[in-house]
Amino acid sequence: MGSEVLVSLVEKRHAPHLHCQVLIDPLASAGHGEHALLARLRDALGEGALTRVQRADLAEAPHLHPVLVCLARPGATPSRSLLELTARAAQNGLYQRRRYLCGWLFSEAPPATIAAHIAALCRVPDAQRAFSFYPVYEPVRLELLAATFKQAEQGPWWPIDNWLFLSSGGRLVNLRGQGGPRHALPGPALRIQADGVLVERVLAGWRVLRASTTDASQCQIPAFAAVRASNHIDDARGLGLSNAEDIVVLALHQLCIHPRLHTLSEVRSLIDGACSGQQALAPLLARYSEAHWRRLTESLSKSERRL
């Protein structure tokens, strides 16, 4: 998706009665051009357009708190040139572990209300109502949170009318907020957020493998790659794996060879060996050539094969 197309899609979500805001994460390892973006927005819009999203875990470093930048208030239209800057920053950071440009938010509520709402979303409760902090505004974590609901519209987005961000596979996602009674946060939400760093590791390995292959059909990264990675992490744990490296290795094999790879008896015996602590899973799986994997997966559904 080109930046012009992205800008047009974002523009379509704006309406005269809404605030148009962009969310920036100073913690991201952005290049000089991306960090200059916040300064350019401040110069163009004024300090009053910036609202910090408070992070209790970074109380001693308020300059690292996320920033909501109001590109347009009700009655105004966001500058296309500023939208283009934000679109390029979002695309440039798409495959970084932490993204500088996290998304675009449209709401009737003022920026201070939205900032407080985002801060509250980051406090994820367990079954005993004890809270843990997770930065769910980060696009990969937001994708994972939205996927825990049967319908994304059931998520706790309101009073944000439309929350747009690029998914882990580069698709523009629109989370639509709905007023009224809130749906309870699904049970798996906390566990999945706790796996966020592990999901990022799988995604990083997946991109490296994708970049190293000359076959366009191999290791393809779908729109919601983070959700796929999370599902395979669950698979690995269900098989008894607990070592993070073993979990990542199995997930990558499932993503790049076949999602049902673990159902093969030959592979399952290797997994069992890793579970017992006899040997790490990576060297066990590395014994197999691509030709061997092709033969081994012939009994599995052809439509899901990646080799």
The mean per-residue pLDDT over the stretch 161-165 comes to: 97
How many separate domains does the chain show? 2
Statement: the pTM of the whole predicted model exceeds 0.85: yes
Those residues with Cβ within 8 angstroms of residue 83's Cβ, 6 or more apart along the chain or in another chain: 7, 10, 11, 71
Could you count the other beta carbons within 10 Å of the beta carbon of residue 180?
A: 6
Report d(CA 64, CA 58) in Å as an integer: 7
pLDDT higher than threshold 90 for residue 213: no
Q: How far out from the chain centre does Cα 32 lie?
A: 23
Query: Which comes out higher in pLDDT, residue 285 or 180?
Result: 285
Same domain, 162 and 261: no
- The string of pLDDT tens digits covering residues 25-71 is 998 865 545 568 899 999 999 999 999 999 988 988 988 999 999 99
Q: 3-class SS at 297?
A: helix
Please state, for a pLDDT cut of 90, what percent of the chain lies above it.
71
The mean per-residue pLDDT over the stretch 136-142 comes to: 97
Residue 217's pLDDT band (cuts 50, 70, 90)? low
pLDDT higher than threshold 80 for residue 189: yes
Please confirm whether the linkage preceding 66 is cis (ω < 30° from 0): no
Same domain, 240 and 141: no
pLDDT higher than threshold 90 for residue 214: no
**Nearest alpha-carbon partner for 135 in 127, 126, 145:** 145
The mean per-residue pLDDT over the stretch 71-94 comes to: 95
- The string of pLDDT tens digits covering residues 92-108 is 988 888 899 999 999 99
In a domain, 169, yes or no: yes
* Domain limits for position 221: 195-304
Same domain, 9 and 153: yes
Report d(CA 111, CA 2) in Å as an integer: 29
Sheet holding 67-72, edge to edge: 50-52, 67-72, 19-24, 101-107, 162-166, 172-176
In a domain, 186, yes or no: no
Same domain, 40 and 174: yes
Same domain, 26 and 73: yes
Same domain, 165 and 21: yes
- φ, ψ for residue 304, nearest 5 deg: -100, 0
Lowest mean pLDDT among 25-39, 106-120, 187-201, 223-237: 25-39
Q: Which of 151, 181, 211 is the last residue of a domain?
A: 181
Please state, for a pLDDT cut of 70, what percent of the chain lies above it.
97
What was the pLDDT predicted at 162?
Answer: 97
Same domain, 19 and 77: yes
- φ, ψ for residue 252, nearest 5 deg: -65, -40
